[in-house]
Structure 1
């Protein structure tokens, strides 16, 4: 699993770097170098703490990579806007303005994430706490990477004479095909906000019906099971043992090796006859095999989820709602949390329809999706707030639509960067990481949709003085 994840991470990160460089040229190359520094900072901090990188911890690390990429994309897109309006005639001045304009969105999205990480760490335990540790470290490292390292690299580069003679190589002096197409067409997406809310409600009902009809297939961590430890006569490859047990009718058995000949099998509640079948399968692979431990195990995450993780999650959402209400308006915070609930229900419903297990891997993915969803909404609402401060006459639907069109290039480019890494994990990693990456891909798609077509229409409907005829 570690080897597969490493290859997937290397290939996915390389594809993301190539994509960022293709879109933002020189700035993309410098951002890639800054992301390498981010990885080094995060690894150094985890090593200093002596942390063990579990799968939930990996989820926090992946989410922080996404936020680091997003921060760079935000800056570069704002710089493109400044240069396109010709209010900043040179790439250097446009870049400086881009950093200044993107600072509030970067700060708000990172602060809301740090609030959630702090509360999850304080009130939870086990894998959820591991997620919060790597997430908090990753967010701080990503802010240093985007706001300090990238800025130093970028401002040094755009001041070179060769760059000044050819400003288009910076990637800031051109608008990009997404922004150019949106400027030509200027679609009014928020003309009928209730239609978007109706579509979101329909998808929500479809997903929730999967939970009711198919039910949730809770994994061993939630339901408990049986743990059997063997001492084999010859070394047994865990992959072969896992495949053999799947063929024997135990596809969800967790197989781990501890030493050359020691093998541990963890499965759901087994009858004595089923236990004999597991033992016979292991014996067929390892020759003379002794059973040295056989015990029932209780649910390790079920009680934690009910008592600790769920409480921590509710507190984190409440704190995020309060922060957004103070920084923006109450309707923005309510819409962001509403979109977040929409994303969570849909992700759980999709896994119910697919028959995928709800286990520790899914919990890690769900926490990551929650962070992505809030981050997307914060970026959009930051632009709405900025436009409202300059324009008190235009109806909110028009202002929100303008904000969507202005932030859509950032949404597309950030989503593509994250999707490349997750697709590599889905295709190249083993079964466990495949479910993890699949959940993140679904969450990424749903979160991107909901920030634009659920949170934005909900904000318009919640506004007390919204004009009904526009």
Structure 2
């Protein structure tokens, strides 16, 4: 049985982790350096939001949703390219079945709507309109508020959960790292000129969950070491906990990166922005859950007079 466990890797702690623990690099010796790096990334992302602006999607600004039934199946990527050539590069094209296309776009005049219909008709033989819905500015405003409420609720729930499970220091540090992830991801999309739509919000909430889970793993190990690490400082306990969890964090991130890269490559243009948001969020979330959350916790702990209580 012992030999079988060795073959599966369950019996040991892992070569990378053992080497890290033997060398014991003091990653948290100067936590403010990590915070300075995070601040620099925030400034770069924020400058993208300030300079390029945030390109809100149809759901948040209002627009038009048109559904067509065609005589022959039309590939969404082909339809998207044809519409771009016709002067509509930002139309979102989806197919609910082989012979039905759904188009989401901004406000269209009657001549523009006729050009869109003619383009779809040239691709599918016919283009019978089976649905035509306007997304007004008031509805777009409601959707923006709903998306913002979902984001605030996600961050608040993380804060309450971590404060209840660990300490308010850890909860505040984790939410600071999550807010860092949100700003950086929005800034990257601003620099790239990508739209902020419902799909992006879904990816953003996924990144928040991933980054928060990584922070929980690190903070849980810090708590375990605090129980058994009498005499060690909070910074030493934090550094040791990071070294123990870092291989796990990187392995999880690499595994998720393979899947999301496949989604970006094979998912086509329809899923391209979603996969890009997940990939960027994966990198930023992996970094911030260790090298932003932990330094923030160290700085907060340094500014309170009481030591962490053992639970």
Measured against the shorter chain, the TM-score band is 0.7 to 0.9
Deviation digits for residues 274-323 of structure 1 (CA, Å, limit 9, x no counterpart): 223213322322446555665533265541331x3433443443333223
Aligned counterpart, 2:255: 417
CA contact (8 A) 1:229 1:292 kept: yes
Q: Which has the higher helix share?
A: 1
Q: Is 1:183 aligned with 2:21?
A: yes
Matched residues in 2 for 1:203 and 1:450: separation?
11
| TM superposition shift of 1:171 | 1.1
Question: Does the 8 Å CA contact 2:55/2:193 hold for their aligned counterparts?
Answer: yes
C-alpha displacement of 1:466: 9.4
Q: Which residue of 2 aligns with 1:310?
A: 148
Counterpart position of 1:195 = 33
How many residues align? The count is 303
Please report how far the alpha carbon of residue 431 of structure 1 lies from its aligned counterpart in structure 2 after TM superposition. 1.3
| Distance (Å, rounded) in 2 between the aligned partners of 1:453 and 1:272 | 53
Q: Does 1:337 align with 2:175?
A: yes
CA-atom RMSD in angstroms: 2.5
Q: TM-score, normalization: structure 2?
A: 0.88
Give the structure 1 partner of residue 158 of structure 2.
Answer: 320
Q: Offset at 1:443?
A: 0.8
Per the TM alignment, residue 269 of structure 1 is displaced from its structure 2 partner at its CA by 1.3
8 Å CA contact 2:74–2:124 kept in 1: the answer is no
User: 1:220-235 residue pairs with structure 2 within 5 A?
Assistant: 220-230=58-68, 232=70, 234-235=71-72
Answer whether contact 2:174 2:293 (CA < 8 A) is retained: yes
Whole-angstrom distance in 2 between the partners of 1:265 and 1:304: 19
**How far, CA to CA, are the matches of 2:5 and 2:67 in structure 1?**
65
Structure 1: segments with no counterpart, 5+ residues: 1-162
Does 1:394 find its partner at 2:228? Answer: no
Taking the aligned partners of 1:359 and 1:182, their CA distance within structure 2 comes to 42
Q: Quote the offset at 1:414 in angstroms.
A: 1.2
Q: Is the 2:93–2:270 Cα contact (8 Å) retained in structure 1?
A: no
- 1:209 matched residue in structure 2: 47
Q: TM-score, normalising length from structure 1?
A: 0.60
State how far apart, in whole Å, the 1-side matches of 2:83 and 2:89 are: 6
Alignment of structure 1 residues 168-179 onto 2, 5 Å: 168-179=6-17
Cα deviation, 1:33-77, whole Å, max 9, x if unaligned, reads xxxxxxxxxxxxxxxxxxxxxxxxxxxxxxxxxxxxxxxxxxxxx
Q: CA deviation at 1:405?
A: 0.2
Residues 91-148 of structure 1 deviation map (CA, whole Å, 9 limit, x = unaligned): xxxxxxxxxxxxxxxxxxxxxxxxxxxxxxxxxxxxxxxxxxxxxxxxxxxxxxxxxx
TM-superposed CA distance for 1:215, in Å, is 0.6
1:277 aligns with 2:115: yes
Instruction: Give the conservation status (yes or no) of the 8 Å contact 1:460–1:466.
Output: no
1:341-389, Cα deviation, whole Å (9 max, x unpaired): 0111001101111111111110110010111111111110111111112
Specify the alignment match of 2:266 in structure 1.
428
1:230–1:319: structure 2 CA closer, same or farther, 3 Å change rule?
closer
Match of 2:191 in 1: 353
Q: CA deviation at 1:222?
A: 1.4
| 342 and 293 in structure 1: CA distance in 2 versus 1, 3 angstrom threshold | closer
Q: Distance in 2 between matches of 1:210 and 1:302?
A: 23
Instruction: Write the mapping of 1:13-412 to structure 2, written as runs, cut at 5 A.
Output: 163-230=1-68, 232=70, 234-239=71-76, 240-256=78-94, 263-287=101-125, 289=127, 294=132, 296-298=134-136, 302-306=141-145, 308-412=146-250
Specify whether residues 323 and 416 from structure 1 end up closer, same or farther in structure 2 by C-alpha distance, changes over 3 A only: same
Q: Does the CA contact (< 8 Å) of 1:257 and 1:264 recur in 2?
A: yes
- The answer to whether the 8 A contact 2:178-2:208 is kept is yes
Q: Do the aligned partners of residues 301 and 410 (structure 1) sit closer, same or farther apart at CA in structure 2, a change above 3 Å counting?
A: farther
Partners of 1:356 and 1:294 lie apart in 2 by 25
The answer to whether the Cα contact below 8 Å between 2:218 and 2:241 also exists between their aligned partners in 1 is yes
Structure 2 residue runs of 5 or longer lacking an equivalent are none
Question: How far apart are the structure 1 equivalents of 2:214 and 2:33?
Answer: 21
